[in-house]
Chains A and B, each alone.
Chain A
């Protein structure tokens, strides 16, 4: 890897400096560097350029860095919260396979079992109307917390209670809807299957932010978008009536909206949408 003038290339110099050359090649490069003033000078030049760039990089960005104290305290608090959650090793941990050869053998066996089993199943179960490429499963009942932790804006109770109805139930723009479907890996979604819903509703100070929006199923048999709409409306009324703090309502609905429903409707199952809800409203 010497150039036409019998000098080392810049790539060689960089890799040699980082100790990434194979032993034999590193020895050759070392011997060449010991004898060649040009290459030593070039190496010094490259090192100088990297050092200069690192300096400029830091000088440019360091003034923007806030003090570490606040973020450090925040991280510690979040870690303490995570630590308090029940943790266990993942299920697959107990089935760890010690060697690659054994792993390959297991995969082969699993493949043959799956193939044989699949053939049997296929023979006995062909859905009407052809074979779907996507295996249906119930999803959209609760949001993925990593993708949709919830997002709020700074509002007062006066702000949320004086919102126009259009603001409370405003629709999500189509490009954002598509982005959310994509994020959740939902392809070919039918409009009447999902509602792109606010985790924290606008009527509770939630924002039109991708972190506050998720595809919620209309069709889940128990906990679906219609049920959550009822919770949002109920919480909005409770907040405006001073029965619940706005921040508590935001926290509860973002943390687990189903638990919040059970808590605020005093029930373990969704109330039937018409009669039960009216009855509940009358009672409370």
Chain B
């Protein structure tokens, strides 16, 4: 499926080498900054989808990359760092949500944002249709169980099914079943 940047993992500046004992702290810092540049936006989007404020999401993202620095400093595994980064972000986001006990009404918020997203190029009729479509898709998304939402959002960020399974701690089969069900619902909502 070449429509998403799912192969980005292969472009990571880290080979899957188990341990590189000669890496200096400044090299690790450089590697972490490269990964930050590459994954900060996808990660921030994913964390924001848990309903936290932008400020809190930024904090979580910073924490993820500081943890990554420590992870690499301790010479732990470099295999699938993208999956590792999303996994840490997922756990921190859940912890943050539990701690802050804030459950934002994402549906209302997302819809407000959708209405602000008018692209100036289409005609007004096309804009209305676009917003209606986005609303339909978001309505389906928010009606899904949280795990299914996470699967979809991680897929939208380009993670492979195996990586999604690792982030959420579920089996590969469970990911494919979840995504197949969610995509069928989305397609139905879209009148396909």
Contact = CB atoms under 8 A, between A and B. Distances in A.
Interface string A34-67: 0000000000011111111110111111111110
A3 interface: no
Contact of A82 (B33, B69, B176, B190): B69
* Shortest beta-carbon contacts, A-B, top 5: A10-B180, A17-B1, A54-B156, A57-B156, A11-B176
Interface of A: 9-11, 14-15, 17-18, 20, 45-54, 56-66, 68, 71-72, 74-76, 78-80, 82-83, 87, 89-90, 93, 179, 183, 210
Interface in B1-23: 1, 3-4, 6
B187 interface: yes
Contacts of A65: 41, 44-45, 48, 54
B183 A50 contact: yes
Output the residue of A14, A53, A78, A89 with the most chain B CB within 10 A. Answer: A53
Contacts of B153: 57
Given A54-B4, A179-B99, A75 B152 contact: no
Main SS of the interface on chain B? helix
B39 to A, nearest CB: 11
Contacts of A53: 137, 141, 152, 155-156, 183, 186
Given A57-B45, A61-B48, A18 B65 contact: no
B134 to A, nearest CB: 5
Given A45-B187, A49-B190, A58 B156 contact: yes
B26 to A, nearest CB: 7
A41 to B, nearest CB: 11
Interface of B: 1, 3-4, 6, 25-26, 29, 32-33, 36-37, 40-41, 44-45, 48-49, 54, 58, 61-62, 65-66, 69-70, 73-75, 99-100, 110, 113-114, 116-117, 133-134, 137-138, 141, 152-153, 155-157, 160-162, 172-173, 176-177, 179-180, 183-184, 186-187, 190, 192
B26 A83 contact: yes
Contacts, number: 149
B4 A60 contact: no
Contact of B54 (A48, A54, A64, A68): A64
Contacts of B179: 14
A68 B65 CA distance: 14
A83 B161 contact: no
Contact of A80 (B29, B155, B161): B29
Contacts of B155: 50, 53-54
A56 B137 CA distance: 8
Contacts of B45: 57-58, 61-62, 65
B75 A49 contact: no
A93 B40 CA distance: 30
Given A64-B48, A68-B40, A79-B69, A20 B156 contact: no
B92 to A, nearest CB: 10
